[in-house]
């Protein structure tokens, strides 16, 4: 019985240590989430303004034909997938990667039909294990990523579309809804299809040297900004998922500790009762 009680006590101590770790990680994730949300919100006005200017040009220019706006026959597809570098975030990575894999398996018969750009160690390792065609990768992003951290992969992904290396580019990431809910989404980034929507109150601009040449600069910038915004959205989702996962782990540890404590107390009470019974039995035998 004593040996069993020692084992239970050792288990309780182990779960208490685990609870301290998961609680600390939950608090760190909560702190990171606040900053990530602020970063995501701060990036929106910039992309909104670029979209406004592009929409103005598109609505004011007749017969506008730009490669980044034109749909073409799809022979090859690009995917830019945003995952995390670390785990312990519930289904954050698994749900997203499962969605991407289902899409690829449904749409493509050969690895020649698609290319993958991946941000995050989890995604990179996942695709590498399956020998899938990774064109470019970025790992080791800081908790508060700057545009320069993903500039190279964003430019490459957009430029490859412009060069005709694939005919459409999809962006796959976790969309942040709230700290508890993150939704894996897959959005077509290129060709751009939403910039021709004008609000009807556009100002009249004069462009130098020409509207078309301004678009040549702004359209890639806008696409790259959307990628950066998705990275920030993904970071907020990652912190939210980790905070939820660590909170659940802390609660589970608390329940396990409570259950084991009850078992320990019962075993201890049984041992005490047995000792008392043995003492009384010995006293009766002597009397």
pTM over 0.95: no
Looking at the predicted structure, is the pLDDT value of residue 205 above 70? Answer: no
Mean pLDDT computed over 216-245: 92
- Strongest mean pLDDT among 6-20, 61-75, 106-120: 106-120
CA distance linking residue 194 with residue 196, whole number of Å: 6
* Sequence-distant (≥ 6) Cβ neighbours of residue 37 within 8 angstroms: 176, 236
pLDDT bin (cut points 50, 70, 90) of residue 147 is: very high
Q: Which helix (H) or strand (E) holds 114?
A: strand 114-119
Tell me the pLDDT tens digit for each residue of 86-123. 989 989 999 999 999 999 999 999 999 999 999 999 99
CA distance linking residue 18 with residue 272, whole number of Å: 30
User: Is the C-alpha dihedral spanning 232, 233, 237, 238 positive or negative?
Assistant: negative
Distance of CA 102 to the CA centre of its chain: 18
Q: Work out the number of other CB atoms within 10 angstroms of the CB of residue 162.
A: 15
CA distance linking residue 274 with residue 160, whole number of Å: 78
Tell me if 274 is assigned to some domain. Answer: no
Burial state string for 29-63 with b = 16 or more CB within 10 A and e = fewer than 16: bbebbeebbebbeebeeebeebbbbbbbbbbebee
**Upper half-sphere CA count for residue 86 (Cβ side, 13 Å):** 13
For residue 43, the enclosing domain spans 28-244
Q: Work out the number of other CB atoms within 10 angstroms of the CB of residue 9.
A: 15
Q: At what angle do helices 121-129 and 92-107 cross, to 10 degrees?
A: 40
Tell me if 269 is assigned to some domain. Answer: no
| Residue 5, pLDDT score | 81
Tell me if 235 is assigned to some domain. Answer: yes
Please measure the distance between the N-terminal and C-terminal CA atoms of the chain and give it in whole angstroms.
29
> ∠ CA(230), CA(234), CA(235), 5° rounding?
120
Domain with residue 185: its CATH number is 3.40.1380.10
| Residue 202, pLDDT score | 54
Q: Are 196 and 56 in contact (CB under 8 A)?
A: no
Domain count, the chain: 1
Tell me if 153 is assigned to some domain. Answer: yes
Q: Smallest Cα–Cα separation from 25: which of 253, 271, 283?
A: 253
| Residue 16, pLDDT score | 93
SS3 277: helix
> ∠ CA(14), CA(20), CA(23), 5° rounding?
135
Tell me if 184 is assigned to some domain. Answer: yes
Tell me if 260 is assigned to some domain. Answer: no
Tell me if 239 is assigned to some domain. Answer: yes
Q: Burial of 265 by CB count in 10 Å (0-12 exposed, 13-18 middle, 19+ buried)?
A: exposed
| Residue 230, pLDDT score | 93
Tell me if 7 is assigned to some domain. Answer: no
Q: Work out the number of other CB atoms within 10 angstroms of the CB of residue 154.
A: 26
Q: Are 167 and 115 in contact (CB under 8 A)?
A: no
């Amino acid at each position: 019985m004593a040996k069993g009680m020692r084992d239970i006590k050792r288990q309780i101590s182990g779960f208490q240590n685990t609870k301290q770790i998961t609680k600390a990680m939950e608090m760190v994730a909560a702190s990171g989430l606040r900053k990530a949300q602020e970063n995501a919100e701060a990036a929106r006005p910039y992309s909104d303004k670029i979209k406004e200017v592009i929409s103005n040009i598109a609505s004011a220019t007749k017969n506008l034909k730009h490669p980044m706006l034109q749909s073409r026959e799809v022979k090859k597809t690009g995917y830019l997938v945003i995952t995390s570098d670390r785990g312990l975030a519930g289904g954050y990575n698994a749900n997203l990667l499962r969605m991407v894999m289902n899409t690829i398996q449904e749409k493509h018969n050969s690895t020649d039909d698609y290319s993958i750009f991946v941000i995050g160690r989890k995604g990179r390792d996942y695709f590498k294990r399956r020998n899938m065609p990774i064109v470019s990768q970025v790992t080791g992003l800081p908790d508060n990523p700057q545009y320069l951290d993903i500039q190279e992969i964003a430019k490459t992904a957009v430029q490859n579309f412009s060069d005709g290396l694939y005919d459409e580019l999809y962006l796959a990431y976790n969309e942040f809804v709230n700290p508890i809910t993150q939704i894996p989404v897959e959005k077509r980034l290129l060709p751009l299809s939403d910039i021709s929507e004008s609000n009807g109150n556009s100002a009249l601009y004069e462009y130098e040297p020409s509207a078309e040449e301004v678009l040549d600069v702004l359209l890639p910038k806008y696409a790259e900004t959307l990628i950066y915004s998705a990275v920030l959205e993904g970071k907020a989702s990652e912190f939210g998922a980790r905070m939820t996962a660590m909170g659940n782990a802390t609660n589970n540890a608390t329940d396990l500790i409570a259950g084991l404590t009850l078992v320990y107390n019962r075993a201890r009470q049984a041992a005490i009762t047995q000792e008392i019974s043995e003492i009384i039995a010995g006293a009766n035998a002597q009397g």
